[in-house]
Amino acid sequence: MSNAQPALPRSASPRRHSRRAPGALLLLAALAATALHPLAAPAAAQGAAPSNPRPLFSSRDVAIGSAVTIATLLLSTQDVRIAKAVSDSSLRANERLSGAAGIANRINETTLMAAAVLGYLSGRVTKSHTLTDVSFHMGEAVFIASAGSQLIRGPLGRSRPEVTDLEDQYDFHPFKGFREFDHRAFPSIHTSSAFAAATVLVREASRRGHKEWWIAPVAYSVAASPGLTRMYYAKHWATDVLMGAFIGTATGIKVVRYHHDRPGNRLDRIFLGVQVQPDENGGMRLGLTRRF
């Protein structure tokens, strides 16, 4: 994936939209917070895995997914207004903002996966189980969120804002998303992968007794920056970012829950060298083999 700064759309300059920017961005933030709030329940502290782990998916997931879908449909009515507000000439003229956007644009599924692989290999070499464990789970979540997002946007073929000159958020070309970059808008993979990584970091930190009050705001602020940057470059609509954030957050939660509720699963045995053995009290204990 190229890290070159994307070209700006032709309709990125009208100043008549400058007064709409604060309100539009606040609307996006409020809807995103409403959609993601039910997923933000604190994770259980790390300890013995439950003897009967709860199901990975439940009716609650269906309810949350339905709520986010409804919020996305409602937000879609404001997609054009938000896109034009974010592309206002006063924002384009801000050199600091433009420079920050260029940096945030480099946070994507490729760089996040590379970071996860590097962390995983470093953990294996230094014999750090925590680094190996967290890095592996982050890489897994980024991969699943990215692949899932592509499976959605491929058939939908939603046009990016720049393709319609920020005028038509309902321009779809079924299955073109598999072949053409211009029709891969919904959802944002930049956002889904970033939120997947952030969620894994937050949940793993919580399970290890670290305080979420500062970790979560930092992690999710960084995770939000690529999506907002893609809107700034007219590559995504606000609804693309909202759904990407939901997919990434949900994926991160499920990956962490799966591994910690089901110790000794096949993936852990293969990639982490984890073994589950009976202890002297009739319970189970985890062992970690050091193979590289």
- pLDDT of 113 reads 96
For range 11-31, the mean pLDDT:
44
Buried b (16+ CB within 10 A) or exposed e, 161-200: bbbbebeebeebeeebbeeeebbbbbbbbbbbbbbbbbbb
Q: What is the 3-state secondary structure (H, E, C) of 96-123?
A: HHHHHHHHHCCCCHHHHHHHHHHHHHHH
Q: Is residue 67 in some structural domain?
A: no
Is this structure's pTM higher than 0.75?
Answer: yes
Are the beta carbons of 245 and 70 closer than 8 angstroms?
Answer: no
236 and 109 assigned to the same domain: yes
d(CA 48, CA 224): 33
d(CA 202, CA 98): 28
Q: What is the residue range of 140's domain?
A: 77-261
99 and 164 assigned to the same domain: yes
In this structure, which amino acid lies at residue 50? P
- pLDDT of 91 reads 73
165 and 279 assigned to the same domain: no
- The helix/strand/coil state of 155 is helix
Q: Is residue 57 in some structural domain?
A: no
76, pLDDT greater than 90: yes
Q: Is residue 43 in some structural domain?
A: no
171 and 106 assigned to the same domain: yes
| Per-residue confidence band for 274, with pLDDT thresholds at 50, 70 and 90 | low
d(CA 82, CA 254): 31
Distances (CA, A) of 180 to 26, 47, 121, 166, 236: 32, 47, 34, 18, 15
- pLDDT of 5 reads 58
257 and 280 assigned to the same domain: no
Better-scored residue on pLDDT, 291 or 119: 119
Are the beta carbons of 84 and 15 closer than 8 angstroms?
Answer: no
d(CA 284, CA 279): 5
87 and 106 assigned to the same domain: yes
| Per-residue confidence band for 51, with pLDDT thresholds at 50, 70 and 90 | low
222 and 141 assigned to the same domain: yes
Q: Is residue 217 in some structural domain?
A: yes
The count of structural domains within the chain is 2
Q: Is residue 89 in some structural domain?
A: yes
Q: Is residue 71 in some structural domain?
A: no
Q: Is residue 224 in some structural domain?
A: yes
113 and 246 assigned to the same domain: yes
279 and 135 assigned to the same domain: no
93 and 203 assigned to the same domain: yes
For range 3-8, the mean pLDDT:
57
Q: Is residue 1 in some structural domain?
A: no
Closest residue by Cα to residue 279 from 106, 48, 100: 48
Find tokens 């294996």 and name the residue. 124
- Residue-wise pLDDT for 163-211, tens only, equals 999 999 999 999 999 999 999 999 999 999 999 999 999 999 988 887 7
- Residue-wise pLDDT for 152-171, tens only, equals 999 999 999 999 999 999 99
111 and 147 assigned to the same domain: yes
284 and 198 assigned to the same domain: no
- Residue-wise pLDDT for 26-48, tens only, equals 444 444 444 444 444 444 444 44
Cis amide bond preceding 226, omega within 30:
no
| Per-residue confidence band for 264, with pLDDT thresholds at 50, 70 and 90 | confident
d(CA 64, CA 245): 13
- pLDDT of 207 reads 87
Q: Is the dihedral of CA 174, 254, 32, 73 positive or negative?
A: positive
Better-scored residue on pLDDT, 198 or 23: 198
145, pLDDT greater than 70: yes
